[in-house]
Amino acid sequence: MEDLGEKMVFLGGPRQVGKTTLALSLLEPPSENHAAYLTWDDPATRKMIRGGALLAEQPLVLLDEIHKFRGWRNLVKGL
């Protein structure tokens, strides 16, 4: 956990095992309303992610459900 500020971390696994809950637990407060939690399932957030408008002031950014975007790998590498 100490090196999250230095690396990208990808969390994968089957549905309904707690991936989002685990990721949210890294935020203070752990909430889906936190500015650093960006989910591909929200159309407004999706537009922001595709535009590369991530919140620079956030020390950690969570991209949830990003795998639903076909070009997610290149998008994440570019960010």
pLDDT tens track for 15-51: 999 999 999 999 999 999 998 999 999 999 999 888 8
Q: Model pTM?
A: 0.83
Contact 61, 67 (CB under 8 A): no
DSSP letters, 3-21, are GGGTS------STTSSHHH
Q: Which residues contact 10 (CB under 8 A, 6 or more apart)?
A: none
5, pLDDT greater than 80: no
DSSP type of residue 69: S
At residue 52 the predicted structure's pLDDT band, cuts being 50, 70 and 90, is confident
* For the chain, domain boundaries: 40-79
